[in-house]
């Protein structure tokens, strides 16, 4: 028996059953996905409510955020099932992804226009561009590039504070952000928002 | 908080701090042990140091701990 299998064998019955049910096919998997989704939504709602006062969003948007976080967590969990090593209950491992997704969903992208000085009165001109930028951050950047972009650009974390938080150094963080900026510019160029001469306004 | 204490907190680092990646890798184990009342700060001092110092990771820990305790309750 492998170490991984032995660890899973030592689990409580429910935790041992989850990975098997999610890895199989047919009705058993569908039932497990639906049941897990229900659990993740419940945990995401509680977490969103817990963080609510600091999220600066209210009402139906909080519920939307919880559902989106639960859906994204479900995708992460099913794609990383092989990483569950039985070191905790399955649900504890799964709920960790809810915490990560709530954090990502709660990022304050509404600050972005102000961060770059876009005029609110001319939102029609830049709204699509910033949606494309957000999409590029999600799709093009590595997890580390994304984290550094969010910390510095959205959350205004000082570079030296980030150096400590990530146990890194200024040069490494600058280089990571430098690479991220190049990727984002290339993505926006590919979408037709920018060329060598600058922005192409619609 | 005045500028002196803010600067002092900013400059004060714990050499045991394992960083974000390792703390997040261990988070489910750490949270479950904490919920069970185990002495996690002694067992995983580097993770504990990180969760005290890093706001976002500390927030994730508090949320996961609340979720695990809610399940048990």
Residues of B in contact with A96 (CB under 8 A): 24, 27-28, 31, 60, 64
Structure confidence at residue B1 (pLDDT): 47
For the segment A154-171, the average pLDDT, to the nearest whole number, is 80
Q: Is the pLDDT of residue A62 over 70?
A: yes
Closest CB to A92 among B31, B54, B62: B31
Interface A-B: count of C-beta contacts within 8 A: 64
Percent of all residues in chain A with a pLDDT value above 70, rounded to a whole number: 90
Structure confidence at residue B6 (pLDDT): 56
Q: B60 to chain A nearest CA, in Å?
A: 5
State the helix-helix crossing angle for A170-190 and A123-140, rounded to 10 degrees.
Answer: 120
A52, A69, A87, A95: which to substitute to probe chain B, counting the most B Cβ within 10 Å? A95
Q: Which residue of B has its CA nearest to A102?
A: B60
For the segment A46-74, the average pLDDT, to the nearest whole number, is 84
- Of residues A49 and A167, more confidence is placed in A49
Q: For residue range A103-155, list pLDDT tens digits in order.
A: 877 777 777 787 788 888 888 878 888 888 888 998 899 988 998 988 888 87
Q: A106 to chain B nearest CA, in Å?
A: 11
- Tokens for B36, please give them: 């069970």
Q: Which residue of B has its CA nearest to A162?
A: B54
Percent of all residues in chain A with a pLDDT value above 90, rounded to a whole number: 39
Structure confidence at residue A46 (pLDDT): 93
Residues of A in contact with B71 (CB under 8 A): 91
**Cα–Cα distance for residue pair B48/A47, rounded to 1 Å:** 21
Residues of chain B with pLDDT under 70: 1-12, 72-73
**Cα–Cα distance for residue pair A101/B69, rounded to 1 Å:** 20
B63, B65, B73: which to substitute to probe chain A, counting the most A Cβ within 10 Å? B63
Domains and CATH numbers, chain A: 3-105 (1.10.1740), 109-199 (1.10.10.10)
DSSP summary character for residue B69:
H
Long-range contact pairs involving A143-152 (C-beta distance under 8 Å, separation at least 24) = A144/A176, A145/A176, A145/A177, A145/A179, A145/A180, A145/A183, A146/A180, A147/B20, A148/A173, A148/A176, A148/A177, A148/A180, A149/A177, A149/A180, A150/A107, A152/A177
For the segment A161-167, the average pLDDT, to the nearest whole number, is 80
Flag whether the ipTM exceeds 0.85: no
DSSP summary character for residue B16:
T
Q: Is the pTM of this model over 0.80?
A: no
């Amino acid at each position: 028996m492998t170490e991984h299998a032995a660890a899973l064998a030592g689990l409580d019955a429910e935790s041992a059953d989850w990975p098997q049910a999610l890895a199989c096919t047919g009705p058993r998997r569908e039932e497990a996905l639906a049941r897990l989704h229900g659990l993740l939504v419940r945990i995401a709602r509680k977490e969103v409510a817990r963080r609510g006062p600091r999220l600066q969003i209210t009402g139906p948007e909080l519920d939307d955020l919880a559902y989106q976080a639960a859906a994204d967590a479900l995708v992460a969990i099913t794609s990383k099932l092989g990483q569950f090593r039985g070191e905790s209950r399955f649900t504890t491992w799964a709920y960790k992804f809810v915490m990560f997704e709530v954090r990502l969903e709660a990022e304050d992208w509404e600050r972005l226009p102000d961060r770059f000085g876009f005029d609110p009165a001319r939102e029609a001109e830049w709204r699509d561009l910033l949606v494309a930028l957000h999409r590029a951050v999600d799709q093009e950047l590595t997890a580390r590039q994304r984290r550094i972009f969010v910390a510095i650009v959205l959350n205004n974390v000082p570079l030296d504070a980030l150096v400590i938080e990530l146990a890194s150094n200024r040069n490494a963080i600058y280089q990571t952000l430098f690479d991220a900026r190049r990727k984002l510019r290339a993505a926006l160029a590919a979408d037709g928002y920018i060329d060598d001469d600058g922005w192409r306004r619609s | 908080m005045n500028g002196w204490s803010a600067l002092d907190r900013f400059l004060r680092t714990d050499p045991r701090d394992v960083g974000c990646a390792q703390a997040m890798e261990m988070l489910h184990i750490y949270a479950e042990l904490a919920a069970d009342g185990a002495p996690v700060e002694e067992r995983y001092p580097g993770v504990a140091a990180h969760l005290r110092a890093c706001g976002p990771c500390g927030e994730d820990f508090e949320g996961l701990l609340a979720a695990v305790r809610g399940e048990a309750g």
